[in-house]
Structure 1
Amino acid sequence: MPGAIQTILINAYCICKELQGVLVQGYVQWIIDDFATAYRKLDFSDGEDPMRLVNVQLREQAEAAIKDKVSTMAVRDVLSDKQPIIEELTARLRTVAEGSDDARNDRGLGLNIVTVQIKEAVVSSNTATKPPASTATPSSNSAAPPANTTSSASRTPTAAPPPTSRPNSSNPSPPSSTTSPPPPN
């Protein structure tokens, strides 16, 4: 278990209270404070990078804290004043890593949160209610068409038998139409 300061980069994709997407980027630095507690409570089993699992768990906690705080804030507040996000993130990570102040015997995970910083926050979407690109029609989608679009466009409606050629008693569902492309993957 190394005793060096660890740095976790955070990219939290959040939704603010106006339902706009906001990307909040920051970092957290931590160090092992109590080796005995950390050894008992944490998983350092990755031979190549023993701190990887701890970093992943702390990153998930940090992203959740940021998302929770940003969801209660207006976009303007997120972009102009990052201090409330830093305070919430610091409090939540310290409770997990260092233990709560209420329980005298709770040593947390044996970690010490050294630095919590928010580098930037940027609006990443117009609104969160905008439909995803996969549901857009091919004419409004500027991305390259899926690989199977060419084959479906070259089919003619007469390539398959008309819907009335199959008896309804043996196949209760109507046959698939050959004029519309298959759903995107």
Structure 2
Amino acid sequence: MPAFDRDELEEMVRRWLDANKRCEEAGDWRPMAELYTEDATYGWNVGPAQDFMAVGRSEIRDLALGSEMGGLDGWSYPYQSILIDDRNGEVVGFWKQIADGGAYEVAGIGGSWFRYGGNFQWSWQRDWFDLGNVTSLFVTMMKAGALSDGMRRRLDRAASGAPIPGYYKRGETPVPLW
């Protein structure tokens, strides 16, 4: 693994945070796909039996940043701390998940682990978050009538039992999480 210029990695993080803020304000994260290489992968664990994986910039745009972030308009993901490893070209960011201008917040720690691919693009991203706390918050918001129409559609989709693009049985993703 080649070492990367520290200034270049810091600039990549700055560009990422700026794009994240713009996309949060617009309620549309799909433009962030341009910050990934064409063959990048983006995945996360969804509990003991399931993982999510998007392979390639198009799937990242359509699945990870499109349908998976759909319904999260009004949510923000402020980064609390960012660690940069210029020797390995990796970045780890710790973020919060906040809804409705701070009225709701997911308890616990969320984060993203990135591998830099050069040219101000990530070659992969892996996320983690506390699924139990996310689920609990969604139930609280549901009871309060605070879920967006998009989030209700997402929950209906998940409850339908129909296959959801990008979701795989644990250990069967086209690219490993690790």
Q: Same fold (TM over 0.5)?
A: no
TM-score, length basis structure 2: 0.27
Structure with more strand by fraction: 2
TM-score, length basis structure 1: 0.26
